[in-house]
Amino acid sequence: MQINTVSTVENISTEHVNGRTVIVIDVLRASSTIVTALDSGFASIIPVRTADRALSLRSLNTVIAGEWHLKKFDGFDYNNSPTDLKKKDHTGKHLVLITTNGTKAIEKAAQAERLLIGCFLNVSACVKEAIIQNSDITIYCAGTRNEFAFEDGLAAGMMVHLLKKQAASIETCDFSDAMEACFLQLAHQLPKLLFTTTTGKRLVENQYGEDIQYCSQIDLSQIVPILKGNRILSLSDT
Ligand SMILES: O=C(O)[C@H](CS(=O)(=O)O)OP(=O)(O)O
């Protein structure tokens, strides 16, 4: 089994996607929001690319969330904030979501054999599920505004480490090994380290420090989100 880690949203190629299991990581915050939404009772997530498209899906059964460069769009119910979303019961509703990096990464990798969503919150469940299929795996870091995001690299490194421990025989790329080394060296500095990353600092400036603390929790959830058509569901519901 080959494991490749892709460092930014634009670095993905068809070779990284076709016939593979792709895990989209966007720790701060899209992946964490998606895991949290499914964990707290949303029936599905509908990722979209424009605010107009999101608003066109408004109905009694939808909740609309998202941001562009951290600012909530006019007319939306929520920012891309997992801790805000959790405050109210939306059981059975569908979350329409647009984010700066995460939903773009999901769209770019949509042709994967299986597309899973991962972050610290569901890291072990996600890795376990990725191994089952026995396909090659691409760990796809969404990053931030076309740049590498350290928090995504650390989560990728943890996944690589778990994969090495659990899969029978794997081959890793240099970037996967580098991220594993970073994770092993720095894991003890979580959650503090996430406050010092580029996205972490931006979130603090915008009063979203609570999200950083929340998103740094390891294995809070057993939910593994999977893309089915144009929706993201919990794998256990498919
Ligand atoms: O909403 C977020 O946390 C980020 C915003 S930023 O562009 O990275 O500052 O978007 P995401 O798509 O969740 O990475």
Q: pLDDT digits over 88-130, tens only? A: 999 999 999 999 999 999 999 999 999 999 999 999 999 999 9
> Given ligand 1 and candidates 194, 197, 199, 211, which is best to mutate, with the most ligand atoms within 8 Å of its CB?
199
Asked whether residue 238 is assigned to any structural domain, the reply reads no
Which mutation among 29, 35, 72, 121 tests ligand 1's pocket best, with the greatest number of atoms within 8 A of CB? 29
Give phi and psi for 137, each to the nearest 5.
-120, 135
pLDDT at 16: 97
Residue range(s) defining the domain that contains residue 54: 2-231
Specify if 236 maps to a domain: no
Given the DSSP bridges, would you call strands 2-6 and 137-141 parallel, antiparallel or unpaired? parallel
Question: What's the gap in Å between 159 CA and the centre of ligand 1?
Answer: 21
Q: Whose CA is nearest to atom 11 of ligand 1?
A: 101
Q: What is the pLDDT of residues 134-163, one digit of tens each?
A: 999 999 999 999 999 999 999 999 999 999
Structurally, how many domains does the chain consist of?
1
User: 177 CA to middle of ligand 1, Å?
Assistant: 25
| pLDDT higher than 90, residue 168 | no
Residue-wise pLDDT for 25-80, tens only, equals: 999 999 999 999 999 999 999 999 999 999 999 999 999 999 999 999 999 999 99
Q: The dihedral of CA 11, 17, 22, 24: what is its sign?
A: positive
Mutate to test the pocket of ligand 1, among 8, 10, 67 (most ligand atoms within 8 A of CB): 67
33 Cα nearest atom in ligand 1: 13
3-state SS assignment for residue 44: strand
Measuring from each residue's beta carbon to the nearest atom of ligand 1, which residues come in under 6 Å?
Answer: 26, 28-30, 67, 69-70, 80, 99-102, 142, 144-145, 199, 202
pLDDT band, very low/low/confident/very high, at 234 (cuts 50, 70, 90): very high
Residue 238 has pLDDT above 90, yes or no: no
- Rounded Cα gap, residues 85 and 122, in angstroms: 17
Minimum-distance ligand 1 atom for the alpha carbon of 69: 7
Taken in order 36, 159, 165, 115, the sign of the CA dihedral is: positive
Domain-located, residue 237: no
Phi, psi of 79 (to 5 degrees): -75, -175
The model's pTM is: 0.97
Give the Å distances, CA to CA, from 231 to 96, 97, 171. 9, 10, 31
Supply the pLDDT for residue 192.
Answer: 96
Q: How far is the CA of 62 from the centre of ligand 1 (A)?
A: 22
Instruction: Give the residue among 145, 132, 154 at the shortest CA–CA distance from 99.
Output: 145
**Atom number in ligand 1 closest to CA 105:** 12
68 in a structural domain: yes
Structural domain includes residue 100: yes
Residue 25 pairs in a beta bridge with 118, 141
Assign residue 41 a region (left: φ > 0; alpha: ψ between -120 and 50; beta: otherwise): left
What CATH number corresponds to the domain at position 194?
3.90.1560.10
Model pLDDT, residue 222: 98
Is the predicted pLDDT of residue 167 greater than 90, yes or no? Answer: no
The answer to whether the CB of 149 falls within 8 A of the CB of 30 is: no
